[in-house]
C-alpha cells in the first residue's frame, strides 16, 4: 500500500493532524492499534475525570466546543466532542493495526512501515512519503520497580485501571504519585470511605482551577516569571503552608516549570483540605512491599489492602521506529525542545509530544499540515 501521509495513532493528536490535513486536501491514512479512537479517554480514565484546564485551552483545530459545554469538560463530554470532531472531518481510522517497524528507505525516499492486523494476524507493508508519529507521551502505563511488589497479596493496579472509589470503603488504600491523577484518585477514595494515603516524593504546586485559568490568560500578555509570582502568592494564601503536611512547593513557578519539564501543577479538587485534616496521610517514598505491608522511607511500615500506581505513562515509539534518531531520544521524547520538536528528517513528524496538553497538540497538528503542504508544493 502506498500513501502520501501515514498517521500512527488515533488519539487527540492523530485526529487533530488528520483534520488539518483534510482542511488542506492532503490524502492520508490513520492507523490505530486499539479497537477505537481515543482509547485512553474512552476506556482507561476514572469516572470523575474532567479536563483540568478551561475549555478555551483544550480545543482541537478548527472546531469549538458546542454551546453549553461546561468550562471544565467532563470525560464523557470530551469523548463526545472528539467523536463529533472525527465525524466533521470524515476521519476514519483503521483499527487493530499495530506498527511492528518503520524505517526510511533512502534510495526510494520513503518510509517503509510494517503493520500487523491483530484481528487476523496478517502483515501489511505500507510505504509513505510522510510519517506522523501521533502515539503521544501516554502510550503505555508505567509502574515503578518496587522491591517485593510481585509478592503483594492485596490489589495492585495502575491508575488506568481505576474507575471509582466505590468498593473501597473501609479499605486501606495507598496512591503512589501526586500528579493530577494521583491527587484526584486519593480524593475520590477518601470521599468514598477508604482509609487513604498518598506517596508524594517530589515538590508540587497545588493550585485552584480558577487560578490556573487566570494565570494562563494573563501569560498571554505578561512574562511567565511575573505571572508565576502572582500565582504562588495567591496559592499560598489559599492553601497556607503545606510543608508541615508533606507537600513542598518547587523552586520554579508553576507555568515556567511546566514549560521546562512538562510537569503540570496539581489542580486541587479538595485533596489539600483532606490532607490538612489528616483524612489523607502523606508519605515521602516507598522502600519495599511485602505480602501485606508497605515500608516507607524512614522505616515506617503499614498494611494496605490496595495500591494504586498513579505513576503516569511512557512513550514506546523507539520500540518500532528504526530511523528516528534525529527526532527521538532514548526515552521516546523529542530531541529538540519546544517549539521545534515536531519536525524530524526525511518527512518524519511527531504530534502530541510537547507535554503541553491539547493546546500543544493543536499547534503540532497545524505546523505538520502546513509543512507537508509546503513540501508537496515544492
The string of DSSP letters for 298-322 reads TS-EEE-SEEEE---EE--GGGTBS
**Closest Cα partner for 93 from 16, 156, 147?**
16
Whether 326 shows a pLDDT value over 80: the answer reads no
- Cβ atoms of 323 and 23 within 8 Å: the answer is no
Q: Which tens digit of pLDDT belongs to each residue from 93-102?
A: 999 999 999 9
- Cβ atoms of 343 and 125 within 8 Å: the answer is no
With cell 504562588, the residue in question is 232
Q: Which tens digit of pLDDT belongs to each residue from 21-49?
A: 999 999 999 999 999 999 999 998 999 99
Whether 289 shows a pLDDT value over 80: the answer reads yes
Model pLDDT, residue 314: 87
- Extract long-range pairs of 100-109: CB within 8 Å, 24+ residues apart: 100/320, 101/320, 101/322, 102/8, 102/131, 102/320, 102/321, 102/322, 102/323, 102/324, 103/322, 103/323, 104/322, 104/323, 104/346, 104/348, 106/346, 109/346
Percent of the chain residues past pLDDT 90, beyond the cut: 87
Percent of the chain residues past pLDDT 70, beyond the cut: 100
| DSSP assignment of 127-152 | EEEEEEE---S-SEE-----TTGGG-
Q: Which tens digit of pLDDT belongs to each residue from 162-203?
A: 999 999 999 999 999 999 999 999 999 999 999 999 999 999
pLDDT tier at 136, thresholds 50, 70, 90: confident
pLDDT tier at 140, thresholds 50, 70, 90: confident
CA 234 vs CA 76, 106, 203, 249: distances in Å: 32, 56, 18, 13
From CA 73, how far away is CA 304, in angstroms rounded?
Answer: 34
Model pLDDT, residue 141: 87
Q: Which tens digit of pLDDT belongs to each residue from 229-257?
A: 999 999 999 999 999 999 999 999 999 99
Q: Which residue has the higher pLDDT, 260 or 277?
A: 277
Q: Which residue has the higher pLDDT, 127 or 138?
A: 127
CA 377 vs CA 16, 26, 108, 370, 371: distances in Å: 22, 11, 19, 11, 10
From CA 240, how far away is CA 277, in angstroms rounded?
Answer: 13
For residue 300, give every residue at least 6 positions away whose Cβ sits within 8 Å of its Cβ, in sequence order, or none.
283
pLDDT tier at 222, thresholds 50, 70, 90: very high
Tell whether omega for the bond before 126 is within 30 degrees of 0, i.e. cis: no
Whether 325 shows a pLDDT value over 80: the answer reads no
Model pLDDT, residue 139: 77
Q: Which tens digit of pLDDT belongs to each residue from 329-363?
A: 888 889 998 889 999 999 999 999 988 899 999 99
Q: Which residue has the higher pLDDT, 179 or 1?
A: 179
Q: At what angle do helices 224-239 and 254-261 cross, to 10 degrees?
A: 120
With cell 515544492, the residue in question is 378
Whether 316 shows a pLDDT value over 90: the answer reads no
- Cβ atoms of 79 and 42 within 8 Å: the answer is yes
Mean pLDDT of the chain: 94
Model pLDDT, residue 332: 87
Look at strands 110-117 and 97-105 and give their pairing: antiparallel
Q: Which tens digit of pLDDT belongs to each residue from 203-216?
A: 999 999 999 999 99
From CA 171, how far away is CA 184, in angstroms rounded?
Answer: 17
Model pLDDT, residue 349: 97
What are the helix (H) ranges across 143-284? 180-191, 209-218, 224-239, 254-261, 271-277
From CA 167, how far away is CA 46, in angstroms rounded?
Answer: 14
Amino acid at each position: 500500500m502506498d500513501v502520501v501521509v501515514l498517521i500512527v495513532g488515533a488519539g487527540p493528536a492523530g485526529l487533530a493532524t488528520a483534520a488539518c490535513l483534510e482542511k488542506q486536501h492532503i490524502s492520508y491514512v490513520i492507523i490505530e492499534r486499539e479497537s477505537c479512537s481515543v482509547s485512553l479517554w474512552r476506556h482507561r480514565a476514572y469516572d470523575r475525570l474532567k479536563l483540568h484546564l478551561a475549555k478555551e485551552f483544550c480545543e482541537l483545530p478548527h472546531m469549538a466546543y458546542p454551546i453549553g459545554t461546561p468550562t471544565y469538560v467532563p470525560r464523557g463530554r470530551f469523548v463526545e466532542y472528539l467523536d463529533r470532531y472525527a465525524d466533521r472531518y470524515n476521519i476514519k481510522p483503521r483499527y487493530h493495526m499495530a506498527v511492528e517497524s518503520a524505517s526510511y528507505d533512502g534510495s526510494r525516499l520513503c518510509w517503509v512501515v510494517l503493520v500487523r492486523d491483530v484481528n487476523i494476524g496478517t502483515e501489511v507493508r505500507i510505504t509513505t512519503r510522510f510519517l506522523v508519529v501521533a502515539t503521544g507521551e501516554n502510550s503505555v502505563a508505567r509502574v515503578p520497580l518496587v522491591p517485593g511488589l510481585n509478592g503483594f497479596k492485596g490489589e495492585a493496579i495502575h491508575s488506568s485501571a481505576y474507575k471509582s472509589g466505590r468498593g473501597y470503603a473501609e479499605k486501606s488504600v495507598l496512591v503512589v504519585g501526586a500528579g493530577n491523577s494521583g491527587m484526584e484518585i486519593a480524593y475520590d477514595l477518601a470521599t468514598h470511605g477508604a482509609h487513604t494515603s498518598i506517596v508524594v516524593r517530589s515538590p508540587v504546586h497545588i493550585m485552584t482551577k480558577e487560578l490556573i485559568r487566570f494565570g494562563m490568560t494573563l501569560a498571554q500578555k505578561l512574562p511567565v516569571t511575573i505571572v508565576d509570582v502572582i500565582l504562588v502568592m495567591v496559592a499560598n494564601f489559599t492553601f497556607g503552608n503545606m510543608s508541615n503536611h508533606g507537600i513542598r512547593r518547587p523552586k520554579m513557578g508553576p507555568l515556567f516549570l511546566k514549560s521546562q519539564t512538562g510537569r503540570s501543577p496539581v489542580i486541587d479538587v479538595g485533596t489539600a483540605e483532606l490532607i490538612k485534616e489528616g483524612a489523607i496521610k502523606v508519605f515521602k517514598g516507598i522502600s519495599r512491599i511485602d505480602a501485606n505491608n508497605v515500608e516507607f522511607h524512614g522505616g515506617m511500615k503499614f498494611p494496605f489492602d490496595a495500591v494504586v500506581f498513579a505513576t503516569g505513562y511512557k512513550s514506546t515509539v523507539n520500540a518500532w521506529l528504526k530511523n528516528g534518531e534525529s527526532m527521538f531520544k532514548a526515552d521516546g521524547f523529542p530531541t529538540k525542545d519546544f517549539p521545534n520538536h515536531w519536525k524530524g528528517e526525511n518527512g518524519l513528524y511527531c504530534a502530541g509530544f510537547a507535554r503541553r496538553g491539547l493546546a500543544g497538540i493543536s499547534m503540532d497538528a497545524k505546523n505538520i499540515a502546513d509543512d507537508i503542504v509546503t513540501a508537496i508544493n515544492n
